[in-house]
Amino acid sequence: MSLGERLRRSDPVRTAPIRTFSTTLRRPESPEGAEPGGATKPPGGRARDGSWSDVVAEGVDLAYRVIEEEIRLGQQAAEQLNRRSYAMGSDMVEAGERLVRYSADLWISWLEFAGSLARNADSLRNLSRPPEPEPARSADATAGATAVSIAITSPQPARVTLHLHPTAEGCSLAVRDLKAGDPGKPALTDVLFTPGAGGMMDLQIRVPQEQPPDLYAGLVVDQRTGQPVGTLSVQVGE
């Protein structure tokens, strides 16, 4: 048998579910009242709605929702700052933690908006797409990804997984402590992003000798805005 005769599966875009950011990267479901089981039409079928007005309406609706949410969050932030609530009964670490988490909410809103734009662009493309199988899109698409050089010092075997959203491009990255699944285990704290040569970011990770084996994970944030732009995990041991 010659090799050319045998068909091969194409490589999958991904092989695992997205357990995080799923809120922001889902495509919209069919509109209410659609045919039962009205999933996205398969290759060759038309786009979900196929109407410009629907696409535009959805985009506008999402945009307004994002803007309203932003205004609301902004009002709350201002209110909190006016009351000097950050200084009340909490130290600066806690304030920082709040800021990061607070910005996470904002980030979700922005990602939703960005996701809607991507979805709408996709819908528009579908209107004129030939009936060929549409390659599934990756949630962690690498377009526009920031280049990162990783250096790890570890007395134990360690594997690093870094997921950066495309919007991380050009950001000054920072990472929070990487926590283990078991809250009883100490966090991995010696993790640092620094600007490298040629616009690249350097990521230095040092795993202490006594670090218990586990998967340590945490958020990567934009240092300037505090917005999460990705995740970093380090599998120590095994």
Residue numbers at the binding site for other proteins (CB under 8 A):
1, 3, 5-12, 14-20, 22-23, 25-27, 29-32, 34-45, 76, 79-80, 83, 85, 88-90, 94, 97-98, 101-102, 104-105, 112, 131, 133-137, 139, 163, 179, 181, 183, 215, 217, 219, 231, 233
CB of 115 to other proteins, least distance (A): 10
Q: Is 197 helix (H, G, I), strand (E, B) or coil?
A: helix
| Phi and psi angles of residue 128, each rounded to the nearest 5 degrees, phi first | -115, 15
Alpha-carbon gap, residue 95 to 86, rounded angstroms: 6
Contact (Cβ atoms closer than 8 angstroms) between residue 171 and residue 204: no
- Shortest Å, Cβ 89 to other proteins: 6
Q: What is the smallest separation between the CB atom of 98 and other proteins, expressed in angstroms?
A: 6
- Closest approach of Cβ 131 to other proteins, in Å? 7
Pick 65 or 206: Cβ nearer other proteins: 65
C-beta of 133 vs 198, nearer to other proteins: 133
Instruction: List the Cα angle 169/143/13 in 5-degree steps.
Output: 135
Q: Which is nearer to other proteins, 170 or 183 (CB)?
A: 183
Q: Write the DSSP string, 45-70.
A: SPPSS--HHHHHHHHHHHHHHHHHHH
User: How many Å apart are CA 95 and CA 89, to the nearest integer?
Assistant: 10
